Amino acid sequence: MKKNRFGFPENHLNSETRKKLHLENEILRIKLKAQTGSDLQHDGGALPPEIEHIFLKNILEFEESVAHCALIRLYDYIDRPPYPAPGKLGDEELEKALSDLTDALFRKNITVDFGTLPDNRSKYLFIIQELFPQEINDIRIGSMFLHFQYEEFHPNHEKDMRARTMEFISDWFERTMGKFSWELAFQCALPDGSILPRQEVLKKFRVIFEAFTGFTDCQYLVRNVHFEVRENEMKGVGHVEGAVKYNALLENGEQKFIEGPFKLFMAMEDNCWRIFYFVFPGFEW
């Protein structure tokens, strides 16, 4: 059976049913735009209409629920399950109590990423002391999950900046810098004060990548991470310094050895670090 580029079978609906679904999907889009201002564009019919229909209905159900929902404490949302005080629990009892709480959360479509928390007691305390008092929208949609991350409450800025650095270096060495390289800011601020849109920066990457057939013997070293954050405003600036070296392969088979220091300048808004300017061996502004 022929499949489209998403891996779904094509022409598995008769033409009348397909036409009816396309019409219903257009109506759902119009309704979404009227109620929320969202303008969802479909991808040229590549997505099967029945899958698109489910997707649009779920979005509409969510938006309508948000518009009419009240706020509720997370502990009340999961029906206030009893739990023992952590000070009275030994290690084995604590492990079971933690499992009971995560199960209670999961039954209400809530998951928790504990991140860098080192032990079960810390995880247990995080749930009962920080998650349970949180106010959330009282929305109950069977297919929707709510996900909490420890780092959202206690950001690890150095870890996040190192992660953005690794993403940048990986995208450079693999020559995959593109629209899904979210480590890059939407606008780059150059030293002369001018602003360069993200798309223009990506064009510069493409020009450089097209000049080579690949990069080999790639090595890097991160030497320093520095940042200043205004926690109350969830904003900050910082930079990561290090060095790289690699061989750039030319089309004629020759190799060009490139090495030197790099410096990635980052800014944080809404607890997300992005690179807004950089100095990197092999890249020219």
DSSP per-residue string spanning 153-190? HS--HHHHHHHHHHHHHHHHHTT--STT-TTB-SEEE-
Is residue 39 within 8 A of residue 56, CB to CB? The reply is no
The answer, yes or no, to whether residue 136 has pLDDT greater than 60, is: yes
For residue 283, give the amino acid letter: F
What is the tens place of the pLDDT at every residue in 75-127?
Answer: 999 999 999 999 989 999 999 999 999 999 999 999 999 988 989 999 999 99
- The backbone region for 141, taken as left when phi is positive above 0, alpha when psi lies in -120 to 50, beta otherwise, is beta
User: Cα–Cα distance between 159 and 254 in angstroms, integer?
Assistant: 38
Q: Is the model's pLDDT at 3 over the cut of 60?
A: no
**What is the pTM assigned to this prediction?**
0.63
Residue 63 confidence (pLDDT) above 90: no
Q: In what order do the strands lie in the sheet with 272-279?
A: 214-230, 235-249, 255-269, 272-279
Q: 189-232: per-residue pLDDT in tens?
A: 999 999 999 999 999 999 999 999 999 999 999 999 999 988 67
pLDDT score recorded for residue 109: 93
Q: Is the pLDDT of residue 42 over 70?
A: no
The residue with greater pLDDT, 144 or 138, is: 138
Q: Which pLDDT band, with edges at 50, 70 and 90, does 8 fall under?
A: very low
User: What does the buried/exposed string (b/e) look like for 93-118 if buried means 16 or more CB atoms within 10 Å of the residue's CB?
Assistant: ebeebbeebbebbeeebbebebeebe
Reported as a single tens digit per residue, the pLDDT across 139-180 is 777 667 899 999 888 888 999 999 999 999 999 999 999 988
